[in-house]
Structure 1
Amino acid sequence: MGARLRAFTARMSAPVAEPVTDPRRRRFLWLEIAVVLAVTFALSGYTSILSIVQALLDAAPLNEQTQTLNASASQNPWLDLAYQLGRIARLTAWALLPLVLLWHSRISARAMGLAVPPGRGRWPAVRGDFARGVALTALIGIPGIALYLGAVAIGANATVEASGLGASWWRIPVLLTSALANSGAEELVVVVYLAIRLRQLGWSVPAVIAFSAVLRGSYHLYQGFGGGLGNLAMGAVFVAFWLAFRRAWPLIWAHFLLDAFAFVGYAVLAPHVSWL
């Protein structure tokens, strides 16, 4: 066990890209990180913190308040669909932003953990990434449900409606596409991009894990303290996994499956299950 732990730690500590020592380029990378986070998840974290403060100031207890994900934006179903597609497009742009920046600085898809081997090795690699994603889904999802229900029970979390969309024909495809867009944006920005850039700037492995995890927890605080804590733990596990194995697809698969089960499961089961 000790040898395996040392090997795991050594893999996490291995360089992810060429370190940046030039002062001018270091300043530019700090500016790049600040801009990327400002237009994506740092701003979401800021508004999420304001949301939990507002919820705590409300007269109603936190567990009697409701937070709706994938909320309907219009009573007109076609206009609502247009709004949902716009939100998905924004998340897709967030996912592509770090890829463009990393590619522009000559960091390959392989270094990001996104490359798939050609030929006969492609499908075994895809199956392996999917299997690891399923394992991560179970590792995060089962304790996550227990943490959510416990937090609601003690008044530390709002009740989360995972889907606020009406029973339109496009509801399930939109929820699945939204789950995919969420997973791509979060894992590519909060794990892959941040881990590469912060390691290039000389941050230690524990510091990278802590920063990524706290950021992920912050922009889920609107759900309550259970949501923030659960996502902080998920963030720590995900960035540690990426640093150790340098594969992004299992994280994207796991996040997609977690969101897909939550979004679609809620939409289908909520009218028939009282505790949802």
Structure 2
Amino acid sequence: MTAPQTAPAAPWTPPAPAAPVRSARDRRRTGAEIWLVLGLSLGQSAVYAIVNIVARLTSGTALAEQSATLNASRSARPYLDLTYQLLGIAFAVLPVALALYLLSARGPGTLRRIGFDAARPGRDTAWGFALAAAIGIPGLAFYALGRALGITVEIQASALSEYWWTVPVLILAALQNGLLEEVIAVAYLHERTADLGWHRLTFIVTSSLLRGSYHLYQGIGPFLGNVVMGVVFSWFYTSRWGRHRVLPLVVAHTLLDVVAFVGYAFVPDAWLAALGVG
């Protein structure tokens, strides 16, 4: 008895783009919106990072002898520190809500359009793990190379004291980074630059340079490494594999940061010293 015939799956096609903004007034408004969203989030971080790297390079101390702490304690009082940490995370993700709200002006289906929904949980998670592996392993080697070349500062992934809430807060901080960077630097920026009629390649270059710029405070090496990560992520998002779904990028970024923030505490000191990690 032969198996019933099934129709072949239709090839994936990208969602139809919104009609490009035509009038000069609407183009100015869209451009102003992009600048405002970035100015309240990653663009602001990029400006501070640029100032920071200039200060580092002109300080008279070699980059290799400088350090950066990613998750610093904000108070010696445990529960006050916890309060500050949670407030910082909550306010940091508000620009994500703002970006999604502005995109929703197009009408229903905004979250589905950028793949910020639960339509494909298994596929999104699998791609997230694959992207994390593809970026994380070379990234560690790139960091070690940057330290050896003297173009990367010593990075301390966490300086939080060991309390019961430390690991959950570090996981939330990782999720915050994943949401903020991937939703704004990839999904939101792609949608809005598409509205302006940008070519895909122009978007990929812009998104990648933006990603690298707000990591400049870590040195030249992390800038270059994050530009590469930006190219991979923004290319994947717009490819037939990524299918304009941002959740795999959020999963991948969160996993990378969880390993960096939480795993940092479990790596032997000898290994950290070999990598030049504080």
Q: Structure 1 residue 165: deviation in Å?
A: 0.5
Residue in 1 that maps onto 2:175: 180
Distance 2:195 2:248 in 1: 23
SS of the counterpart of 2:262? Answer: helix
Please state how far the C-alpha of 1:15 moved relative to its aligned partner. Answer: 4.6
Separation in 2 of the partners of 1:113 and 1:16?
14
Q: 2:256 aligned with 1:261, yes or no?
A: no
Between 265-274 and 154-163, report the one with greater CA deviation: 265-274
CA distance in structure 1 between the partners assigned to 2:114 and 2:24 by the alignment: 24
Per-residue CA shift, 1:155-188, capped at 9, x if unaligned? 0000100111011111100000110011001111
What is the CA distance between 1:104 and its match in structure 2? 2.1
Partner of 2:221: 226
Query: CA 1:194/1:235 → structure 2, altered by over 3 Å: closer, same or farther?
Result: same
Match of 1:114 in 2: 116
Q: CA deviation at 1:43?
A: 1.1
Following TM superposition, by how much is the alpha carbon of 1:100 offset from its aligned partner in structure 2, in angstroms?
Answer: 0.7
Match of 2:232 among 218, 234, 237: 237
Q: Provide the aligned C-alpha RMSD in A.
A: 1.8
* Correspondence for 2:198 among 186, 189, 203: 203
Superposition deviation, residue 73 in structure 1: 1.1
Question: For the residues of structure 1 that align with 2:51 and 2:127, how far apart are their CA atoms?
Answer: 35
Which runs of 5 or more structure 1 residues have no equivalent in the other structure?
1-7, 118-124
CA contact (8 A) 1:217 1:229 kept: yes
Which 4+ runs in 1 deviate beyond 3 A? 270-274
Larger displacement relative to structure 2 (240-249 or 102-111): 102-111
Question: 1:86 is matched by which residue type in structure 2?
Answer: L
How many Å separate the matches in 1 of 2:110 and 2:270?
Answer: 48
Structure-1 residue corresponding to 2:83: 82
1:41 corresponds to which letter in structure 2?
A: L
* Structure label with greater radius of gyration: 2
- The reply to whether residue 69 of structure 1 matches residue 64 of structure 2 is no
Percent identical across equivalent pairs? 42
8 Å CA contact 2:204–2:231 kept in 1: the answer is yes
Q: Which has the higher helix share?
A: 1
Task: Give the TM-score taking structure 1 as reference length.
Answer: 0.89
TM-score normalised according to structure 2 size:
0.89
Q: 2:248 aligns with which of 247, 250, 256?
A: 250
Quick one: which amino acid aligns to residue 39 of structure 2? A
1:91 alignment counterpart: 92
Matched-pair contact (CA < 8 Å) for 1:72–1:166:
yes
8 A contact 2:182–2:249 mirrored in 1: yes
Code of the aligned partner of 1:259: D
